[in-house]
């Protein structure tokens, strides 16, 4: 059987439904992006609240620890005020210096000396160009060296990184800094 002729197909594509569905998909994707932003915002708020609670706990724990060590409430309050005045206008957080002063007081048994040492070291770190985070890291390393009774290489390197200028000036004042 032979076929002579042509076969014609009339095709057209109705894309209106596709475009509508694509727009819906785009809206869903945009909506997910908004949810991600909202989620990040809520995470930030939660982190801020956690930080505030931690700071509050640190500042409330300080007088109790000192009272357990035999110091009066007035002495704890005076130390907190001195620490607060000492970091006023500096990038160092009050709860960090209070925590370090507490640790030093526990180690040395001397609240006034621990308070003065905390502020002096914090100032030495900042004068050497350390930011608040490095100052905290260096102060923590100092407390660890004091508690162990020895200086290891990691501790020394941390102090060199966080307060190099102050260490150089201290060595010069003792006559240990030479031309080398």
Contact at 8 Å (CB) between 115 and 81?
Answer: no
Region of poorest pLDDT, from 2-11, 93-102, 118-127, 160-169: 2-11
Cα 127 from Cα 116, distance rounded (Å): 16
Cα 105 versus chain centre, distance? 23
Question: Sign (positive/negative) of CA torsion 106, 107, 108, 109?
Answer: positive
107-142 confidence digits (pLDDT tens): 889 999 999 998 998 888 888 888 878 888 888 888
pLDDT at 86 (0 to 100):
87
3-class secondary structure per residue, 69-96: CCCCHHHHHHHHHHHHHHHCCCCCCHHH
pLDDT at 113 (0 to 100):
93
pLDDT at 2 (0 to 100):
58
pLDDT at 55 (0 to 100):
58
164-180 confidence digits (pLDDT tens): 888 888 888 888 866 65
> DSSP character for 3?
-
140-159 confidence digits (pLDDT tens): 888 889 888 998 999 889 88
Mean pLDDT of the chain: 78
pLDDT at 129 (0 to 100):
87
Query: What is the average per-residue pLDDT within 22-40?
Result: 65
């Amino acid at each position: 059987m032979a076929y002579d002729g042509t076969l014609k197909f009339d095709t057209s594509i109705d894309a209106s439904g596709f475009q509508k569905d694509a727009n819906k998909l785009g809206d869903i994707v945009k909506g997910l992006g908004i949810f991600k932003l909202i989620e990040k915002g809520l995470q930030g708020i939660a982190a801020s609240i956690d930080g505030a609670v931690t700071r509050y706990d640190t500042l409330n724990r300080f007088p109790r620890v000192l009272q357990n060590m035999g110091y009066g409430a007035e002495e704890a309050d005076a130390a907190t005020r001195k620490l607060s005045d000492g970091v006023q206008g500096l990038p160092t957080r009050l709860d960090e210096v209070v925590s370090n002063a507490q640790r030093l007081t526990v180690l040395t048994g001397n609240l006034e000396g621990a308070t003065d040492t905390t502020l002096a070291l914090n100032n030495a770190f900042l004068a050497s160009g350390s930011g608040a985070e490095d100052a905290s890291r260096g102060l923590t390393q100092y407390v660890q060296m004091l508690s162990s009774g020895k200086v290891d290489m990691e501790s020394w390197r941390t102090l060199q990184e966080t307060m190099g200028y102050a260490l150089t000036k201290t060595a010069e004042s003792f006559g240990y800094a030479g031309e080398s």
